Amino acid sequence: MRNSSIYWGAIALLCTFAPAMAQEADWTKSKWGPADEIGAANYITPELVVKAAQLVKTGKTYPLGIETNSKTPAFPPRGFKLMVVQPGQAGIEGLGPNKATYNDDIIEGWVGVGSQLDGLGHLGIGHVYYNGNKLADFADPNGLKKLGIEKVPPLVARGVLLDMAAMNNTDVVKEGTAFNRAEIEAAAKKQGVEIRQGDVVLFHTGWTSLIGKDDKRYSAGEPGIGLDGAKYLTDIGVVAVGSDSSALEVMPFETKDLFPVHQHLLAKTGTYILENMNTEQLAKDKAYEFLFVLGQPRVTGAVQAIINPVAIR
C-alpha cells in the first residue's frame, strides 16, 4: 500500500505540473495556434471588456504615459530628438492669399524611449521569438514581417495597480528589489484585490520620480518583477505587465541571465510589457482597480510604440 500511495502521489504531481512543464519544454508553440501573432491579447473578450467598463464609477482619468523629450534617460544607445519646422515658409508672410502658416514636427530617434509598449517581436531566445518565429524569417530593416505593433488589438481590460512602494514603506523602492509570487500575493491581499485572467497588472515603485533628479541612479538599476513573479502572473493569464521603471524587471538581474523576464513574457508566453508607466497619481488615490485603455500607434512593422495609456475610475 505504501508503494502504491507513492506511485499515485507521483502521478498526481505530474498531472499538476505537466501543463507548465510542457509549455516550458516547447515554448515555441503558442496555445493559440501556429498563425497567432497577438499572444495574451487573445484573453481580451467582449465580455471582459464590458465587465472592465463597469469599474468606471467617478469618470476620473489618469494619463499613464510620462513626458518624452531629448533628456529622457533611455537604455543605451537609444536617444530621442524632436524638431519643429515651418516647411516652405522661410522669408514669406505665409502661403497663399490668406497667408496660411503652420508648424510640423519631425522625430529623430528610437521608439523605445519613455513610456513604451514592447511588442512580441522585441526580445527572443537565440534569434527565435514568440510562437517560434525565427529572426531570419520575419525581421527586415524596413519593418517586421510578423509580430509588428500594428497587429496588436486595442488593449481594453481591467487594470490592477500593486503599490510596492507602500508595501515596502518607502517612497522609492530600492534597486535590486524583486517582486515574486510571495510579494505579489502579499501586496494584492493588503490592497484587497484579486488578479484575474485578462488583467493588465501595473507595479508602482516610485522609480520614475528619479527622472530629472537622479538620472544616474535611475539608469543604473531598478526594482522590478522577478522571473518567479512573471511566471505566476502568466499562469493566471494576464494580458500585460507594466511598471513605473524603464525595464519592468528587477535589475541587477536575479541570476547571470540577461532580461529573463522579458524572454518569459514576450517570447515564451506572448505577454506584453509596459515600461515607464506614470503610476504616481493612481497610487496616491489608492486606485487599485480601474478600466485600462490603450490604442497604440499602428506603425507597420514596428517593434515597440511610445504610448500614453489611460486608466479610468
Tens digits of per-residue pLDDT, 96-128?
999 999 999 999 999 999 999 999 999 999 999
Tens digits of per-residue pLDDT, 142-190?
999 999 999 999 999 999 999 999 999 999 999 999 999 999 999 999 9
Q: Among 123, 113, 173, which Cα is nearest to 144's?
A: 123
Interacting residues of 4 by C-beta distance below 8 A, sequence separation 6+: none
What's the mean pLDDT when you consider all of the chain?
93
Tens digits of per-residue pLDDT, 201-233?
999 999 999 999 999 999 999 999 999 999 999
Q: Using alpha carbons only, what angle is made at residue 168 by residues 166 and 171, rounded to the nearest 5 degrees?
A: 60
User: Domains (ranges, CATH) in the chain?
Assistant: 29-70+111-312 (3.50.30.50), 80-109 (no CATH)
Per-residue pLDDT, 247: 96
The average pLDDT across 33-37 equals: 97
> Does the model's pTM come out above 0.95?
no
> What is the three-state SS of the chain?
CHHHHHHHHHHHHHHHHHHHHHHHHCCCCCCCCCCCCCHHHHHCCHHHHHHHHCCCCCCCEEECECCCCCCCCCCCCCCEEEEEECCCCCCCCCECCCCECCCEEEEEECCCCCCEEECCCCCCECCEEHHHEEHHHHCCCCCCCCCCHHHCCCEEEEEEEEEHHHHCCCCCCCCCCEECHHHHHHHHHHHCCCCCCCCEEEEECCHHHHCCCCHHHHHHCECEECHHHHHHHHHHCCCEEEECCCCCECECCCCCCCCHHHHHHHHHCCCEEEECECCHHHHHCCCCEEEEEECCCCCCCCCEEECCCEEEC
| pLDDT confidence band for 16 (50 / 70 / 90) | very low
The rounded percent of the chain whose pLDDT value lies above 70 is 92
Per-residue pLDDT, 25: 64
Over 50: is that where the pLDDT of 269 sits? yes
Per-residue pLDDT, 273: 98
Return the exposure string of 21-42: e unless at least 16 CB atoms fall within 10 Å of the residue's CB, then b.
Answer: eebeeebbebebeeebbbbbbb
Asked if residues 84 and 95 have their Cβ atoms less than 8 Å apart, the reply is: no
Tens digits of per-residue pLDDT, 293-302?
999 999 999 9
Per-residue pLDDT, 17: 45
- CA 208 from centroid of its chain's CA atoms: 15
Q: Among 131, 160, 157, which Cα is nearest to 146's?
A: 131
| pLDDT confidence band for 6 (50 / 70 / 90) | very low
The average pLDDT across 269-296 equals: 98
156/23: higher pLDDT: 156
| pLDDT confidence band for 24 (50 / 70 / 90) | low
| pLDDT confidence band for 22 (50 / 70 / 90) | very low
Over 50: is that where the pLDDT of 235 sits? yes
HSE value, Cβ hemisphere, 13 Å, CA-based, for 126: 4
Interacting residues of 49 by C-beta distance below 8 A, sequence separation 6+: 156, 157
Note the maximum CA span of the chain: 99
| pLDDT confidence band for 5 (50 / 70 / 90) | very low
Helix axes 227-236, 181-191, angle to 10 degrees: 60
| pLDDT confidence band for 3 (50 / 70 / 90) | very low
**C-alpha pair distances (Å), 84 with each of 43, 107, 114, 143, 174:** 41, 9, 19, 26, 39
